[in-house]
DNA sequence: AAGAAATTTAATCATTTGATTAAACTTTTT
DNA sequence: AAAAAGTTTAATCAAATGATTAAATTTCTT
C-alpha cells in the first residue's frame, strides 16, 4: 500500500516518482520544489526533467496515484454483495488502517482539489460505484429495512466520520492535548464507534 | 462575519489585510505571492512590507483571525446552559451557515495546520470549552440520559459531519455530478440530518 | 503656510526556482 | 571492440519572488 521497497534498489525513474509522491503529498504542490524532490530521491534535478518533463506532469502522476488509492477501496468495499452493514464496517476499518499508513493523503487530496481543481478534475471518474450503491439503498428503503436516505448523505456521513479525524489531527491533538499514541488509540476506537453510529441511525431495526 | 465593507472606504492597511485574508485563505500560504495580495488590494508591494514587515507576519495575522472565527462559535454554542441536544442543533446550523459564507476556511485551516504547524500551533489555545463540555457529558452519562462517550469522539463526530462536506466539496460535487445549487441544497438538508443522527446515537431515550 | 512626519510609488536587489544545455559517463547494440 | 543509444551530471538561464531603497507625494503639526 505504501512505499516499501528499498530506495537503493529502485531505478532512477522510480526513485524520482517515489520521492515526488512523498514530498508532494506531505507539502502540497505549491510548497514543493523540484529540488526537494531531487534531494529526497538522491538524484540531479536534470534527471527529474529527463524522465518527467516538468513539475506539473510529475504532479499529475502523483495525484492520480493518490486518487486511485483513495477511491480503490470504495469500489472494492461497496462492489461486493455482502449485507450493507458489513460493507459499512469494512469501509471504516479499511480506511482507518489506510489513513494510518498514509496520514497526509486526505489533506493532500482535499486541498489540491480545492486549490488546483483543473489538475484534479480530469482524474475523477464521474461515478462508477454510485449506481450500484443507489440501487442497493433504494431496495433496502423500499423493504422498510433502512430509513429513506440519499446516496450523497449516506456516503458523506461515512467518509466524514472516517476521514475527518485524520484531516483535523494537527488541530485536534493540539487542542485536546493528545499524544500521537492517544490519537492512534482513539482512531482504533472509531472502528467500532463509527459503524455503530451509522448503522444505528440507518437501520429501522437492528440488523443481524 | 465576512469582509463586507466597501473596499475603497478602507485604509490602505486594512485593504491589505482584507486582501491578504482573501488570497491566503483561497490559495494557501505557499501558493500566495505578495504581488497577488498587492494586486487584490490595489496597492504597491512596498506598502505591504511597510505595514506588515513580511509575508510571514501577515500570514500569521490572517490565520489567527481564521482560527478565531472558527473556534468562536464553539465557545458560544457550548458555553450556554441550554440542553445538550439544543447545543448540537445550534452548532450544526451555525457552522453550516458560516461555512457557506466562508467556504475556503475549512481546507485553509486544516491544510495550513498540517503543512505549517509551527505557524499555527502557537495560536491554538489548549482547551477552554473542553472542561465544561466534559463535565456536562459526564453528568448526562451518570444520569443515564446519554450513552458513555468521550468528549473527543463527541466533538469529532459533530465537526466531522458538519465540516467535511465543505472540505470535500470539489471532489464530491464532481464525483456525484452535483451543481453548486444541488450542493447547497444538500447542505441545508444536513442541518436536520446531522443533529438527528448524533442525537439518535447519543441519547438513550429521545430528548424532549 | 512651512516644516515634519507618514504614506505611497517606481525601481531595483538578491535569492529562489523551474527548466535547459552540453558534456561526461554507462549501457546496449552491432 | 566500435558505434549508438541511453543516462547522469555540473553549470547555467530566465523568470518569479520576497524584500529594500530612495524619491515623490500626502497628511499632520505648529
pLDDT digits (tens, 9 = 90+) for B110-159: 999 999 998 888 888 776 788 899 999 999 999 999 999 999 999 999 99
Could you say which residues 46-65 of protein chain A have a Cβ atom less than 7 A away from any atom in strand D? 46-47, 50-51
∠ at Cα B106 (B104, B109), nearest 5°?
Answer: 105
Segment A26-43 shows an average pLDDT of 97
Segment A107-121 shows an average pLDDT of 93
- Distance CA(A136)–CA(A128), nearest Å, equals 14
Distance set, CA A153 to CA A123, B25, B99 (Å): 23, 27, 18
Contact B163, B99 (CB under 8 A): yes
Residue with cell string 483543473: A118
Segment B93-108 shows an average pLDDT of 98
Segment B51-76 shows an average pLDDT of 94
| A156 to B170: CB separation less than 8 angstroms, yes or no | no
Distance set, CA A143 to CA A59, A71, A147 (Å): 47, 29, 10
Q: What is the pTM of this model?
A: 0.94
What is the model's pLDDT at position A8? 59
| The three cell numbers locating residue B152 | 473527543
From chain A, pick out residues whose CB is under 8 angstroms from the CB of B107.
Answer: 110-111, 114-115
The closest alpha carbon to B195, from B71, B86, B95, B100, belongs to B86
| Among chain B residues, CA nearest to A199 | B201
Q: Is B132 helix (H, G, I), strand (E, B) or coil?
A: helix
Q: Which residues contact B189 (CB under 8 A, 6 or more apart)?
A: A153
| A152 to B201: CB separation less than 8 angstroms, yes or no | no
What is the model's pLDDT at position B61? 96
Q: Identify from A164, A165, A195 which residue to disrupt to test chain B contact, counting B C-beta atoms within 10 A and taking the largest count.
A: A164
Q: Which residue has the higher pLDDT, A22 or B11?
A: A22
Segment B53-76 shows an average pLDDT of 94
Q: What is the pLDDT confidence band of residue A6, given thresholds at 50, 70 and 90?
A: low
- Distance CA(A199)–CA(A195), nearest Å, equals 6
Residue with cell string 448540537: B88
DSSP for B58-103, written as a single string = HHHHHHHHHHHHHHHHHHHHHHS-S-HHHHHHHHHHHHHHHHHHST
Distinct helix (H) and strand (E) counts, chain B: 11, 0
- Distance CA(B65)–CA(B18), nearest Å, equals 11
For the stretch A150-187, pLDDT in tens is 999 999 999 999 999 999 999 999 999 999 999 999 99
What is the model's pLDDT at position A3? 35
* Percent of chain B clearing pLDDT 90 (strictly above): 84
| B171 to A126: CB separation less than 8 angstroms, yes or no | no
Nearest to A160 among B126, B155, B165 (CB): B165
Nucleotide nearest to A34 (CA to C1'): C18
For the stretch A118-146, pLDDT in tens is 888 888 877 678 889 999 999 999 999 99
- Distance CA(A95)–CA(A9), nearest Å, equals 29
B180 Rama sector, left if φ>0, alpha if ψ -120 to 50, beta otherwise: alpha
Could you say which residues 9-38 of protein chain B have a Cβ atom less than 7 A away from any atom in strand C? 11-13
Amino acid at each position: 500500500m505504501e512505499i516499501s521497497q528499498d530506495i537503493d534498489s529502485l531505478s532512477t525513474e522510480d526513485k524520482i516518482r517515489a520521492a515526488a509522491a512523498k514530498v508532494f503529498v506531505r507539502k502540497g504542490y505549491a510548497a514543493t520544489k523540484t529540488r526537494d524532490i531531487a534531494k529526497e530521491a538522491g538524484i540531479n534535478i536534470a534527471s527529474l526533467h529527463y524522465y518527467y518533463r516538468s513539475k506539473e506532469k510529475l504532479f499529475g502522476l502523483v495525484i492520480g496515484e493518490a486518487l486511485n488509492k483513495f477511491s480503490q477501496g470504495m469500489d472494492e468495499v461497496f462492489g461486493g454483495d455482502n449485507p450493507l452493514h458489513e460493507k459499512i464496517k469494512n469501509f471504516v476499518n479499511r480506511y482507518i488502517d489506510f489513513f494510518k499508513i498514509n496520514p497526509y493523503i486526505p489533506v493532500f487530496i482535499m486541498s489540491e482539489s480545492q486549490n488546483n481543481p483543473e489538475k484534479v478534475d480530469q482524474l475523477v471518474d464521474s461515478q462508477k460505484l454510485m449506481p450500484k450503491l443507489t440501487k442497493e439503498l433504494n431496495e433496502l428503503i423500499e423493504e422498510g429495512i433502512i430509513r429513506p436516505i440519499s446516496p450523497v448523505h449516506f456516503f458523506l456521513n461515512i467518509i466524514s466520520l472516517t476521514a475527518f479525524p485524520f484531516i483535523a489531527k494537527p488541530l485536534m491533538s493540539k487542542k485536546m492535548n493528545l499524544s500521537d499514541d492517544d490519537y492512534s488509540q482513539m482512531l482504533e476506537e472509531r472502528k467500532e464507534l463509527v459503524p455503530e453510529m451509522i448503522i444505528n441511525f440507518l437501520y429501522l431495526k437492528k440488523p443481524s
